[in-house]
Amino acid sequence: MFTGLIEEIGKITKSDKGNNSLYLTVECTKVLDGLKIGDSVAINGACQTVIDIYTNGFKIFASSETLAVTTFKSFSYGTYVNLERTLRLCDRLDGHIVSGHVDGTALVSNITRNGGTVIFTFTPQHNLLRQIVHKGSVTIDGISLTVSDIDSASFKVAVIPHTYNNTTLKYLKTNDTVNLETDIISKYVEKYLSSNDNNNKDAKTIDINLLERNGFI
């Protein structure tokens, strides 16, 4: 479990392709503190298991499932990535609950500035947009962000200078692809409503009638 607060920007120093898999070596310093083989680290929002540790980094094995739903397959030497160690029970939850299980990807469709704020517009895979709400939480490349606006095809986040300067957001360009994890609570609500609508297993759309039948309004 993670919070979406990035501890450090790491760098890919080695990328070895296997049989529909990938071994990645990540250069870093801060997240090595107390890190052990078998521990989990979120790399651009994807929870990965550490399989080896060096004086200046660590190594992970990315499975076929990870390659299928994340941007990992585009990683190469010199790629910068966001890193976060797992949440400890004694920590404050300053971001939001992040599982590290990437749901899919989103396209950077626009980047604008408003004073010191950088406004990103993301166009996600269509099935993910229904789990994103205005003022709700979303995870972009492992970063906990708040949705500032949303329409039928895309959503926006307004990024403060600290977050922009201390994450890989500063490297993003229009038409880049990012990892996206929607709010875990929205997934459970959607699943509950679609599978418990009066035992109607064909119910797939959440609308005003469905909410009323289930006592939400």
The type of residue at 187 is K
**In whole angstroms, what separates CA 124 from the centre of its chain?**
12
**Contact at 8 Å (CB) between 54 and 35?**
no
Phi, psi of 61 (to 5 degrees): -115, 120
H helix or E strand, kind and range, residue 122: strand 117-124
The model's pLDDT over 152-196, given as tens digits with 9 standing for 90+, comes to 999 999 999 999 999 999 999 999 999 999 988 888 887 777 776
- Domains of the chain and CATH, by start: 8-85 (2.40.30.20), 104-182 (2.40.30.20), 184-217 (no CATH)
Q: What is the pTM of this model?
A: 0.87
Among 136, 171, 187, 183, CA closest to 44 = 171
Round to whole Å and give the CA distance between 173 and 188.
33
Round to whole Å and give the CA distance between 94 and 99.
15
The model's pLDDT over 109-133, given as tens digits with 9 standing for 90+, comes to 999 999 999 999 999 987 899 899 9
